[in-house]
Structure 1
Amino acid sequence: MFALTNGLARRGQLTEEQERFRRSSNDWFDANFANPADVDPTVYDHELNPGATAWFKMSARHLIERVEGYRQLLRAHGIVCVEARSLDPGRVIYEDEHQVVVVPTARPGRPG
């Protein structure tokens, strides 16, 4: 959701109100949890970790609750995001107390 919202901002597609929300929310997240790419710059490298995706841990409810505003913003731009849960989202390449970054595991009928 963060990447999608930031992409809309880079393309100048956010309203002033949406941009204020994005900036203040991004600032809050930056101050309250680690960006995996700051800890390991290779974590989202497309060649090393194709399809790498961050997942919040279920114990990080205080963070999960704050993403609703991003979902509403994206929905306003025709981008639907739903909450997904998995006991096995893929091969863990980064982990901290709030999140994991995984490379999806190849499964029948699913590339990866």
Structure 2
Amino acid sequence: MFIRFVIGSLDEDSGRRQGLFQAGETLVLSGQMAVSDLEYLEVLRAWFRNNLPVPTRFAVSSKPHAKAQALSWFRDTAVEHIERMREYQRVLEEYGLRVSMLRTKRPGYIVFEDQHQVVAYPFADTPC
């Protein structure tokens, strides 16, 4: 099983619902956050930088300027990562962002994977 956290806003590249890292960055740049929440979000982001590899690919094509339309999903075995993402979710929800957690057994055509996550171009029936 694979898990993805999203908000209602669409991502420009994928055309799918935006993930929490992008939503968090937008919220940080908005200037609306309390200092304590900014600091906590930065602690969470630092944890992910140290514990989750940055995917090397987000496009189906390997061409240099291919459109990045693949989506990141946690493996359900990435328990600590999912718990931290739920903390991230709580911060975003304090500022009115509605977060949904999607689950699927078929995330799509996988273009990158590691022990904690996959990045996949969604199939027609993949929730996203």
Please, what TM-score do these two structures have when normalized by structure 1? 0.80
- Would the aligned equivalents of 2:107 and 2:120 in 1 still touch at CA under 8 Å? yes
Structure richer in helix, relative to its length: 1
- Per-residue CA distance 1:16-74 (angstroms, 9 max, x = gap): 111001111111111112011xxx2x526994332x21110011011101112211111
**RMSD of Structure 2 on Structure 1 (CA):** 2.3
Distance 1:46 1:105, change over 3 A: farther
In structure 2, the CA distance between the partners of 1:73 and 1:88, relative to structure 1 (3 Å rule), is same
- 5+ residue gaps in structure 1? none
Q: Tell me the residue number matched to 1:76.
A: 94
- 2:109 maps to which residue? 91
Structure 2 unmatched ranges of 5 or more: 1-19
Query: Normalized against structure 2, the TM-score is what?
Result: 0.71
Letter matched to residue 49 of structure 1: A
2-side partners of 1:74 and 1:61: how far apart? 20
Q: Residue 48 of structure 1 corresponds to which residue in structure 2?
A: 67
In the alignment of these two chains, the number of paired residues is 104
Cα distance change of structure 1 residues 11 and 60 upon mapping to structure 2, 3 Å threshold:
same
Distance in 2 (CA, whole Å) between partners of 1:82 and 1:95 is: 23
Identity %: 29
